[in-house]
Each structure stands twice: as structure tokens, then as C-alpha cells.
Homo-oligomer: A and B are copies of this chain.
Amino acid sequence: MPVASQPLGRRERNKQQKLERIIAAASELFAENGVEDVTTQQIAQKADIGTGTLFLYAKTKGELLLLVQNANYAEALERGRADAEKTADVLDAVMAIVRPIVECNRSQVDNGRTYLREMVFGDPTEPHHGEALSIVAQTEEAIAAVLSRSGLMATDAAATAARIVSAIMFISMAASVNAGAGIEAIVQDIRTQVSLLLPR
């Protein structure tokens, strides 16, 4: 009943703080050791919460990774979108969107691949998974926008082409064959495929 300046009760604030501690703990441990080599116990301990509590904030370890990484991908997308706008050539513009995402994905190879795995095979009804899917959808929209802007294809064709680019990106980043490849190699690999997709 007191202060209207602070609309949140103690309860809500505690929850928020816990979430932030979880994100901080998981983020740090994942970056340092890779998802596979971090146990949920370690994360809970570092976040100073019980093991069970962790799973109130993310249903599975995979969801936890999505929770932690989604923001990075969203940011990468934004950078790419801005870059693409300043780029005249269609292929270059598409690649301007692709590159930051590949860079984001490759900042830690194993985590990047696990992220992709969760995206495709995780439970789409979970909230963080949903957010990840939304980022993919936005990426495809951005690519479609570039393609239709160019006038090379109709808008529905552009949307389909964007889905294909998305599939190409996924496989190039996820394939175990490319697990050892660097950013440039992957970007180049994707570029070759995308260039074939654009009407000549």
C-alpha cells in the first residue's frame, strides 16, 4: 500500500534478482567451460540457489543456454540489419546479415552448436525457445526484406528464399564436419551457396 513509485512487491523483486543471478552464473560458467562441462549443480551453487529452483526458471539445461544466449543473437541480428541497409549489392547485403550471426555463434564453438541443436530439437512451447524461434523468424524477415527490396524476386519468393538461406546457415554452422572451421571459412561457405540461390 505504500509507495506507488515501487509497484513491485518484495516477492517479485526477489524473483527478478534470482533470475539475474542465474543468468550471470550460467553465462560465466558456460563461456568459461562450455555447456557440456558445466553441471546444473555448479550453476545453482554459483547463483546461490537450490538445485530445484534452477528448473523453475528454465525447464531444462538446454533452455538455460537459450535464456543466456538469446540476447547475444538478437543483438547480432540488429547489427546485421543495420549493416545490410547500407549495402547496395544484394549478395553482400544478405551476407551482412549472416556474418554477425555466424560470429556470435562461433564465439564458443560447442556452445554455438548446442544452441542450434536446442533451437531445432528443443521444446518449442518453452518460453526461451520461443524467443529463439522469434529471432530466427526476424532474421528470415530481414533477409526477405533485402531480397524483395532488390527487385530480383517477388515478395513470396523472397520469403521462401529467406527460409532457404536460413537452412543453409543452420547446416553450415551445425555440421560436425565444420566443427573445426573458422568464421571466415563458414561465411565463405554460406556465401557460395547463397550466391547460387540468387537469380543470375
Q: Which residues of B contact A174 (CB under 8 A)?
A: 120-121
Proximity string of chain A (133-175) to chain B, C-beta cutoff 8 Å, 1 when within and 0 when not: 1000000000000000000000001001101101110110011
**A193–B176 alpha-carbon span in the complex (Å):** 24
Interface positions, chain A 157-200, Cβ under 8 Å from B, are 157, 160-161, 163-164, 166-168, 170-171, 174-177, 192-193, 196-197, 199-200
A117: Cβ under 8 A from any B Cβ = yes
- The interface size of chain A toward B, counting residues with CB under 8 Å, comes to 28
Q: Which residues of B contact A197 (CB under 8 A)?
A: 164, 196-197
Q: Which residues of B contact A176 (CB under 8 A)?
A: 120-124
Given A167-B170, A168-B167, A170-B171, A196 contacting B160 (CB threshold 8 A): yes
A113: Cβ under 8 A from any B Cβ = yes
